[in-house]
Amino acid sequence: MADNNECIFCRIARKEVKVEVIEESENFLAFPDANPISEGHTLIIPKKHFANIMDLPSDLGSEIVGLIKRVAEKRIKEGAEGFNLLMNNFEAAGQVILHAHLHLIPRKKGDKIRLKTA
Ligand code: 5GP
Ligand code: ZN
């Protein structure tokens, strides 16, 4: 596992790598996915390095749900008609960046997007 100095999402969380901040809370940061599946595809990450949801403290649950809703509201105001939440946990499930992250993928009726998992 990449240590915190090497981990790209840790570097983004530390603001060493500049991203457009979509929303932010004490422990989480939301920013655009570099390879969006749809317009507005957003990643939500914990600012601390946790490998996947199994390492994420459960008491941060309500904070992340609040942030998800704020990002979703923004995307809906921009024209999204719905959204998928996707989280790959462990490499076997298609997780490439081993710093926990949740995908928020805005959707429109008939957009023909097919989500692939590993
Ligand atoms: P996963 O680990 O869930 O398979 O996907 C990792 C996601 O992170 C991919 O959708 C990829 O486009 C995105 N990603 C990888 N590196 C970067 C980066 O440096 N900046 C941003 N904004 N997104 C990244
Ligand atoms: Zn990290």
What pLDDT, on the 0 to 100 scale, is given for residue 1? 47
Query: Which ligand 1 atom sits closest to the C-alpha of 103?
Result: 3
| Ligand 1 nearest-atom number relative to CA 35 | 12
pLDDT score at 116: 83
Is 99 marked active-site?
no
Where does 8-107 sit in CATH, by number?
Answer: 3.30.428.10
Distance CA 91, CA 113 (A): 23
User: pTM of this prediction?
Assistant: 0.96
- Report the C-alpha gap between 100 and 82 in whole angstroms: 23
At 20 the pLDDT is: 98
In the reported structure, the alpha carbon of residue 35 is separated from the centroid of ligand 1 by a whole-number distance in angstroms of 7
pLDDT (tens, 9 = 90+) of the chain, 118 residues, equals 445 678 999 999 999 999 999 999 999 999 999 999 999 999 999 999 999 999 999 999 999 999 999 999 999 999 999 999 999 999 999 999 999 999 999 999 999 999 987 7
Of 41, 49, 99, 101, catalytic: 101
**Which ligand has its closest atom nearest to the C-alpha of 118?**
1
Two tokens, residue 36: 């969006």
Tokens matching residue 74:
């923004």
Output the CA–CA distances (angstroms, integers) from residue 41 to 2, 23, 45, 92, in the order listed: 24, 13, 13, 23
